[in-house]
Amino acid sequence: MDKKMRVLAVGAHPDDIEIRCGGTLARYAEMGHHVMMGYATNGNKGHRTIPPDELAQIREKESRAAAAVIGAEVFWLNFPDAELFYDKETRLAFVDMIRQARPDLIITHWREAYHPDHMATSELVCGASYISTVPHVKTDHPPCAAVPMIYYFEVDFTVESAAAEYVDVSAVYEKKRQMLACHASQFEWLRENHGVDLAERMIPRDRSYGAQCGVAYAERFVPRGFRPKERLLP
Ligand SMILES: [Zn+2]
């Protein structure tokens, strides 16, 4: 992987990509690749008391701070939380994000995720990555030259996990934790509403992925379609 790549991670909510691929993005950034983070929704329902409009602003700030930890470029699509659907308007917004980003590689949710916004993001990314190359589909940016490779995260319990590839994130784990810590509003919400500590959920999973490949902490991905000849992951 001598060539400098453009890597785009797309998550349904602020904090999804930090949790699932923050370490991999940190490694790409350290290797000099151009890293971009796309947030599909503004996360404006993720709190008990802060009103949605105010919360959307807080979560945008938190997301931009998380991206700044690794110097990543941000695409903020601003769809309302829990209202992301596979429709024409939304797919065109994804197409235009991909055209602007011109990624060699996209990392996103697996389609059978637990949250409907995650499932929609997965389908939208896959659909839009193809449509982004079609010249007669007009958006603000010119069409992409090629369909980018896609890697999924969140493939925990399906047959596809046999094709999993691991990324050792041990050396950048502190950066990953810093990125997650930027999402301060979510620590409170998840503790109160779901009895979950965000970091306490992330760390054991990354440790168990690490144990599966013989390192301290790892992230795990499954390629869409055939695995590329040359490894694209760090
Ligand atoms: Zn999410």
Let me know if residue 232 belongs to a domain: no
What is the average per-residue pLDDT within 121-130? 97
Confidence of residue 157 (pLDDT cuts 50, 70, 90): low
- Residue 76: phi and psi, rounded to 5, are -110, 100
Ligand 1 center to 136 CA (angstroms): 33
- 3-39 tens-digit pLDDT: 899 999 999 999 999 999 999 999 999 999 999 999 9
Let me know if residue 163 belongs to a domain: yes
User: Burial of 12 by CB count in 10 Å (0-12 exposed, 13-18 middle, 19+ buried)?
Assistant: buried
Calculate what percentage of the chain has a pLDDT beyond 90. Answer: 81
Let me know if residue 150 belongs to a domain: yes
Let me know if residue 194 belongs to a domain: yes
Confidence of residue 1 (pLDDT cuts 50, 70, 90): low
CATH for 40: 3.40.50.10320
- Tracing tokens 């795990």 back to the chain, one arrives at 220
Residue of 132, 135, 134 whose CA lies nearest to 99: 132
Rounded (5°) CA angle 117-198-151: 50
One-letter amino acid at 222 equals V
Ligand 1 center to 108 CA (angstroms): 11
- Domain, as residue range, for 205: 6-223
Ligand 1 center to 201 CA (angstroms): 14
Ligand 1 center to 119 CA (angstroms): 10
Domain total of the chain: 1
DSSP 166: E
Let me know if residue 230 belongs to a domain: no
Please give the mean pLDDT across all residues of the chain: 94
What is the average per-residue pLDDT within 101-120? 95
Ligand 1 center to 111 CA (angstroms): 13
| pLDDT for 232 beyond 90 | yes
Confidence of residue 228 (pLDDT cuts 50, 70, 90): confident
Confidence of residue 197 (pLDDT cuts 50, 70, 90): confident
Ligand 1 center to 225 CA (angstroms): 24
